Structure 1
């Protein structure tokens, strides 16, 4: 039995976090590829997180925030 899909409000918050990551990445003048390299991830994972298609694990959020040189709280507030 597969788990129930997340409620709409969770999906909306996930998209909001992805938007904040994208905004911070663009502000830092980084491509998804470069952010992925800095964070030790693959570009496809960064893309899925920015698009809200994947819920990032906390470790990856730490990596992304560090690679962007922004506080984690700025990405998930």
Structure 2
């Protein structure tokens, strides 16, 4: 039987997924039609999140609702088509050396872009 999560644990996941998505409390509240103070209460576990609001949160943050109930810290990003293609191709690479080379290239490109 799976563990029942507390309001605090659900709140922590809301915060984690909101930050991963790069969304402010204010923006999330606006999308949901509530105040940012309510988002703060959800994230601290002070207020229970009802099922309808949890579904709206998942939709707004572009994550599956099941992400709130998975154990551990998971990245719950929805991949776009290009990311899916890259991941599928990467998984076909058998050589760990080649995989590490691809990773080095991607990290290098990301560093170059962030310094511009």
Query: TM-score per shorter chain, which class?
Result: 0.7 to 0.9
2:6 corresponding residue in structure 1? 13
Equivalent positions of 1:28-43 (< 5 A) are: 28-43=21-36
Q: Identify unmatched segments of 5+ residues in structure 2.
A: 71-116
* Pair member with larger Rg: 2
What do you get for the CA RMSD once the two structures are aligned? 1.5
TM-score of the pair, normalised by structure 1: 0.78
Match 2:69 to one of 63, 73, 76: 76
TM-score of the pair, normalised by structure 2: 0.53
Q: Distance in 2 between matches of 1:40 and 1:67?
A: 11
Partner Cα separation in structure 2 for residue 68 and residue 41 of structure 1:
15
User: 1:37 Cα deviation (Å)?
Assistant: 1.2
Q: Within 1, Cα distance between the matches of 2:63 and 2:16? A: 12
Q: Structure 1 unaligned runs (5+)?
A: 1-9
Size of the aligned set, in residue pairs, is 67
- Answer yes or no: is the 8 Å Cα contact 1:39–1:66 preserved in 2: no
Stretches of 4+ aligned residues off by more than 4 angstroms: none
Shift of 1:13: 1.6
Alpha-carbon distance between aligned partners in 2 of 1:27 and 1:19, rounded to the nearest angstrom = 12
SS class of match (1:56): coil
User: 1:44 offset after TM fit, Å?
Assistant: 1.3
